[in-house]
C-alpha cells in the first residue's frame, strides 16, 4: 500500500486549468524528484498534500497517522526564538516522551507486587519507544544537522531576527530534517546551500529512512538522490523510473517512439484518403470506397487525438550575438589579494583568460567569489595586485540581485531604457523569447518572481551585445528547461565567460577552467586558499573526485599513524610478521582489501537502519516476541559491524 496516493486530481484557478486527471503514488522510503517548468503547479501540489489547498476533483489517500515534514521556499519563524528553540520545538514529541519516561521511573518507587510488574512493563515500553525515537542522542542529532546545513555552534543562541536570509533558509531545512517525518516535502532544499552543505544533504537524503518528494532544479541532486522523477506537464504527472539522467534518456526514447507511432497513423490515414479519393467515382469500387470512408470517419470521431502531434511546451529560447572584439588576451590577474580585517578572502591570485575560455568560480558561501567578480569590474577595490580586462572589450554583467533594475519600472520599460533604438513592438518580440507574453510585459519589476527577474536580466544582457560575460549565479531561480536554454546559448557564445555558480551540473557543462576558492585540499572550508582545475571537461566532477580521494588518503594516513604510534618498538620490528598472524577473529578478512571492507561496513550500516525502521511498525511493537527477535537481529548486526571496524583498522595498521 502506498504511503500517499493522488487519484484523478483536478485543479483550476479561474480559467487557468492546472491539473486534469493527475495521478501519483508515493511509497515508503521512495525519494522522488518533482520537476516541471515554472507555473506547472509544483508548489500547489504540495499545498494539496498538506491540506492547504483543496482539489476541485479527485481524492488524496494516505496511511493513518503518517507524518509530513514541509520545507517551503521561504520558511517563517517567530522573530524572538533562537536557532536551538526552533530545532527543539519540532521535537516536542520526544521531549514529551522523555517526561513520560521520567514519570514512569518515579512511579516504580511507590509500587509493589503486580502493580510493580505493570509499572515496570510500562517503563520498559516507554524507554524503548524513547530510544527508538532517538531520544538519547537528540542533542547530537541537532548539532549534526545544523552543522551539515552550514549553521555553526556560534549561531545556536542567535534569534531569528538576527539571521540572514540564507541562514533562515538553512534553519528551515534543518528544522524539517530533524523531525524524522514519514514523508518530507522539500521545495528547493538546496537554495542558499554551498557545495559542502549540498553534498551533505544528498548523503542525508539517500540514507533517510522515510520518503521524500523534492522540488528541485539541482540536477546533480536529482541524479544522486531520486529513484523516480515525477514530471508535471500538460496538466498531468508522469512518473519515470530512475534518476534525472535516466529520466532524460527515457523521455527522449519515448518521444522518438511517439513520433514514429504518429507517423504510422498519419501514413495510414493518408493511404485511406488516397484510396477513397481515387475510387469514390469508380463504378466498381464506389461502394468499397464509401465503406472505407465511413470507417475512417468513425475512427477519427471516436479517437479525436488519433492524429494529434505532441504538444510543444513554451521554453526559453535565445542566443548571444557575434562578438565584435576578437582580442586574444581577455583578462590578466596578477598577485591579487583581498581581505576584510582579519578575514582573508584570497591572496597572490594569478591567472590569465584568453578568447573563448570559460572560467567557473565556486566554493563555500562567504569566501569571496562575488567579490572577485566585482573587483574585476572595478566595483570594489583590491588590497594588492592587479586585475584588468583587455582594451575595448564590451563586458556584460549579470548580478544576483538585479541592482541595475528599477523596482517601479515595468518589464518593457527596462528593455527600452537599455536600448533606446528599439520600438515597443520590437521590445515585445525580444521579450517573447524570454517568456514574457501579452500584459506580462507591463508587470512592475518589484512584483516579478525570482525566475522572471532572472529572465529579464538575461534579456538585457543579450541586448548589450557583450564580448565578455561576467555572471554571478546565473541559474538562480531558473527552471530546468531555462537552465538548458542558457547552457546552449553559452556553449554557442564565441566570447569569454567568467561565472560564479554552485550549480554543479551547469559548471560541468560550461566551464573549461575551474577555480575552487575557500577550501582545503580535501574540500573542507579554509579561507584564503584557492586551487585551479583544467583546462578540460566536467571539471567539477574532477574536483569532487580529487577532493574525495585526498580525504580518503588523509583518513588512511591518520589511521596508519595512530596505529603506528600505539605499537611498542618490539612490535614495530615484527610488524610484517604480525600482519601474517592476525587475531583469530580477524582471519576471515585476510583476503579482503580495505576498500572491500569499507563496502561491507556501508552494507551492514544500511541493514541496521532497515532493521531499526521495523521497530516503529505496529506488527512489531505490539508483539513482544517479534520485538525480541528483531532486537536480537539488530544486536547481531551491530556486533558484526564492530568486527568490521576492527578489521578495517587492522588492515590500515
Q: Is the pLDDT of residue 578 over 50?
A: no
Residue owning grid cell 524524522: 180
Taking each helix axis from N to C end, the angle separating 424-432 and 450-463, rounded to the nearest 10 degrees, works out to 120
pLDDT digits (tens, 9 = 90+) for 354-396: 999 999 999 988 899 999 999 999 999 999 999 999 999 999 9
pLDDT at 570: 42
Q: Where are the alpha helices (DSSP H) in 133-194?
A: 138-148, 165-177
pLDDT digits (tens, 9 = 90+) for 616-642: 666 765 565 676 677 778 778 877 887
Q: Where are the alpha helices (DSSP H) in 582-623?
A: 594-613, 618-621
Q: Is the pLDDT of residue 445 over 90?
A: yes
Closest CA to 84 of 28, 141, 128: 141
Q: What is the dihedral of CA 244, 496, 453, 162, to 10 degrees?
A: 80
Q: What is the C-alpha to C-alpha distance for residues 360 and 509, in angstroms, rounded to an integer?
A: 11
Q: What is the C-alpha to C-alpha distance for residues 418 and 402, in angstroms, rounded to an integer?
A: 14
Asked if residues 88 and 145 have their Cβ atoms less than 8 Å apart, the reply is no
The helix/strand count (H/E) of the chain reads as: 22, 18
In sequence order, what are the beta bridge partners of 194?
Answer: none
pLDDT digits (tens, 9 = 90+) for 195-230: 888 989 999 999 898 999 999 999 999 999 999 999
25, containing H or E segment: strand 16-26
Q: What is the C-alpha to C-alpha distance for residues 512 and 507, in angstroms, rounded to an integer?
A: 9
Q: Per-residue confidence at 22, pLDDT binned at 50, 70, 90?
A: very high
Asked if residues 350 and 341 have their Cβ atoms less than 8 Å apart, the reply is no
In sequence order, what are the beta bridge partners of 366?
Answer: none
pLDDT digits (tens, 9 = 90+) for 316-367: 889 999 999 999 999 999 999 999 998 999 999 999 999 999 999 999 888 9
Q: Per-residue confidence at 567, pLDDT binned at 50, 70, 90?
A: low
Residues 6 or more apart whose CB falls under 8 angstroms from that of 499 comprise 358, 359, 360, 361, 469, 470, 471, 472, 474, 510, 511
Q: What is the C-alpha to C-alpha distance for residues 474 and 455, in angstroms, rounded to an integer?
A: 10
Residues 409-418: what's their mean pLDDT? Answer: 96
Q: Per-residue confidence at 576, pLDDT binned at 50, 70, 90?
A: very low
pLDDT digits (tens, 9 = 90+) for 112-162: 778 888 888 888 888 888 887 777 778 888 988 998 998 988 999 999 999
Cα end-to-end span (Å), the chain: 49
Q: What is the C-alpha to C-alpha distance for residues 225 and 214, in angstroms, rounded to an integer?
A: 10
Closest CA to 364 of 194, 548, 167, 146: 194
Residues 6 or more apart whose CB falls under 8 angstroms from that of 516 comprise 362, 363, 530, 531, 532, 533, 543
Residues 64-84: what's their mean pLDDT? Answer: 90
Maximum Cα–Cα distance for the chain, whole Å? 112
Asked if residues 189 and 70 have their Cβ atoms less than 8 Å apart, the reply is no
pLDDT digits (tens, 9 = 90+) for 417-436: 999 999 999 999 999 999 99
Q: Is the pLDDT of residue 486 over 80?
A: yes
Q: Would you say the pTM of this structure is higher than 0.75? A: no
Distances from the Cα of 347 to the Cα of 383, 517, 547, angstroms:
9, 11, 21
Residues 465-473: what's their mean pLDDT? Answer: 97
pLDDT digits (tens, 9 = 90+) for 221-257: 999 999 999 999 888 999 999 999 999 999 889 888 8
In sequence order, what are the beta bridge partners of 61?
Answer: 5
In sequence order, what are the beta bridge partners of 361?
Answer: 500, 515
pLDDT at 568: 46
C-alpha cell at 31: 525519494
pLDDT at 626: 72
3-state secondary structure 367-415: CCHHHHHHHHCCCCCCCEEEEEECCCCCEEEECCCCCCCCCCCEHHHHH
Residues 556-577: what's their mean pLDDT? Answer: 53
For the chain, the average pLDDT equals 87
The residue with greater pLDDT, 496 or 575, is 496
pLDDT at 282: 85
Q: Where are the alpha helices (DSSP H) in 393-479?
A: 411-418, 424-432, 450-463
pLDDT at 134: 74
Q: Per-residue confidence at 43, pLDDT binned at 50, 70, 90?
A: very high
pLDDT at 592: 75
Residue owning grid cell 559542502: 196
pLDDT digits (tens, 9 = 90+) for 255-306: 888 888 888 988 999 999 999 999 888 888 888 988 999 998 898 888 887 7
Q: What is the C-alpha to C-alpha distance for residues 485 and 414, in angstroms, rounded to an integer?
A: 22
Q: Per-residue confidence at 611, pLDDT binned at 50, 70, 90?
A: confident
pLDDT at 360: 97
Q: What is the 8-class DSSP label of residue 314?
A: P
Distances from the Cα of 38 to the Cα of 43, 47, 313, angstroms:
10, 16, 12
Amino acid at each position: 500500500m502506498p504511503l500517499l496516493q493522488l487519484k484523478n486530481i483536478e485543479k483550476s484557478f479561474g480559467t487557468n486549468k492546472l491539473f486534469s486527471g493527475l495521478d501519483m503514488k508515493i511509497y515508503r522510503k521512495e525519494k522522488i524528484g518533482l520537476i516541471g517548468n515554472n507555473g506547472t503547479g509544483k508548489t500547489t501540489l504540495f499545498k494539496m498534500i498538506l491540506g492547504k489547498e483543496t482539489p476541485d476533483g479527485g481524492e488524496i489517500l494516505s496511511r493513518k497517522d503518517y507524518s509530513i515534514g514541509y520545507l517551503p521556499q521561504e520558511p517563517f519563524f517567530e522573530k524572538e526564538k533562537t536557532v536551538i528553540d526552533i530545532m527543539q520545538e519540532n521535537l516536542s514529541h520526544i521531549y514529551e516522551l522523555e517526561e513520560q519516561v521520567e514519570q514512569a521511573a518515579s512511579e516504580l518507587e511507590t509500587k509493589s507486587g503486580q502493580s510493580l510488574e505493570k509499572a515496570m512493563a510500562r517503563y520498559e515500553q516507554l524507554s524503548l519507544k524513547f530510544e527508538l525515537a532517538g531520544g538519547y542522542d537528540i542533542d547530537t542529532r541537532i548539532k549534526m544537522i545544523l552543522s551539515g546545513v552550514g549553521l555553526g555552534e556560534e549561531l545556536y543562541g542567535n534569534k531569528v531576527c538576527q539571521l540572514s536570509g540564507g541562514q533562515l533558509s538553512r534553519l528551515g531545512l534543518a528544522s524539517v530534517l530533524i523531525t524524522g517525518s514519514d514523508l518530507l516535502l522539500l521545495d528547493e532544499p538546496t537554495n542558499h546551500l554551498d557545495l559542502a552543505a549540498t553534498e551533505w544533504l544528498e548523503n542525508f537524503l539517500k540514507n533517510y529512512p522515510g520518503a521524500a518528494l523534492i522540488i528541485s532544479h539541482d540536477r546533480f541532486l536529482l541524479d544522486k538522490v531520486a529513484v523516480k522523477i515525477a514530471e508535471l506537464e500538460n496538466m498531468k504527472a508522469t512518473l519515470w523510473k530512475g534518476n534525472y539522467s535516466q529520466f532524460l534518456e527515457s523521455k527522449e526514447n519515448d518521444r522518438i517512439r511517439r513520433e514514429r507511432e504518429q507517423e504510422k497513423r498519419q501514413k495510414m490515414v493518408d493511404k485511406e484518403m488516397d484510396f477513397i479519393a481515387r475510387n469514390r467515382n469508380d463504378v466498381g469500387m464506389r461502394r468499397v470506397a464509401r465503406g472505407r470512408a465511413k470507417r475512417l470517419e468513425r475512427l477519427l470521431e471516436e479517437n479525436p487525438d488519433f492524429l494529434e502531434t505532441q504538444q510543444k511546451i513554451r521554453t526559453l529560447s535565445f542566443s548571444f550575438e557575434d562578438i565584435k572584439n576578437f582580442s586574444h588576451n581577455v583578462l590578466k590577474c596578477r598577485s591579487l589579494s583581498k581581505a576584510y580585517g582579519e578575514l582573508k578572502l584570497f591572496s597572490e591570485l594569478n591567472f590569465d583568460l584568453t578568447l573563448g575560455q570559460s572560467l567557473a568560480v565556486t566554493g563555500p558561501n562567504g569566501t569571496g567569489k562575488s567579490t572577485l567578480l566585482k573587483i574585476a569590474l572595478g566595483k570594489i577595490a583590491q588590497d594588492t595586485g592587479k586585475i584588468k580586462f583587455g582594451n575595448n572589450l564590451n563586458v556584460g554583467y549579470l548580478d544576483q540581485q538585479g541592482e541595475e533594475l528599477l523596482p517601479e519600472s515595468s518589464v518593457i520599460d527596462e528593455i527600452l531604457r537599455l536600448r533606446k533604438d528599439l520600438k515597443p513592438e520590437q521590445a515585445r518580440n525580444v521579450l517573447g523569447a524570454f517568456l514574457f507574453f501579452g500584459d506580462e510585459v507591463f508587470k512592475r519589476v518589484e512584483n516579478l518572481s525570482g525566475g522572471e527577474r532572472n529572465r529579464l536580466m538575461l534579456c538585457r544582457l543579450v541586448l548589450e551585445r557583450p564580448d565578455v560575460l561576467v555572471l554571478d549565479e546565473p541559474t538562480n531561480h531558473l527552471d530546468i528547461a531555462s537552465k538548458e536554454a542558457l547552457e546552449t546559448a553559452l556553449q554557442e557564445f564565441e566570447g569569454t565567460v567568467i561565472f560564479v555558480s554552485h550549480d554543479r551540473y551547469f559548471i560541468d557543462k560550461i566551464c573549461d577552467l575551474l577555480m575552487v576558492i575557500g577550501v582545503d585540499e580535501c574540500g573542507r572550508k579554509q579561507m584564503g586558499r584557492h586551487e585551479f582545475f583544467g583546462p578540460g571537461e566536467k571539471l567539477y566532477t574532477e574536483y569532487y573526485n580529487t577532493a574525495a580521494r585526498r580525504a580518503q588518503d588523509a583518513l588512511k594516513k591518520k589511521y596508519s599513524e595512530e596505529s603506528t604510534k600505539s605499537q611498542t618498538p618490539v612490535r614495530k620490528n615484527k610488524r610484517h610478521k604480525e600482519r601474517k598472524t592476525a587475531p583469530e577473529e580477524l582471519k576471515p578478512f585476510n583476503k579482503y582489501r580495505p576498500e572491500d571492507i569499507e563496502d561491507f561496513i556501508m552494507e551492514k550500516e544500511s541493514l541496521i537502519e532497515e532493521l531499526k525502521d521495523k521497530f516503529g511498525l505496529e506488527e512489531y511493537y505490539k508483539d513482544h516476541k517479534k520485538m525480541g527477535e528483531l532486537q536480537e537481529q539488530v544486536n547481531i548486526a551491530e556486533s558484526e559491524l564492530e568486527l568490521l571496524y576492527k578489521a578495517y583498522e587492522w588492515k590500515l595498521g
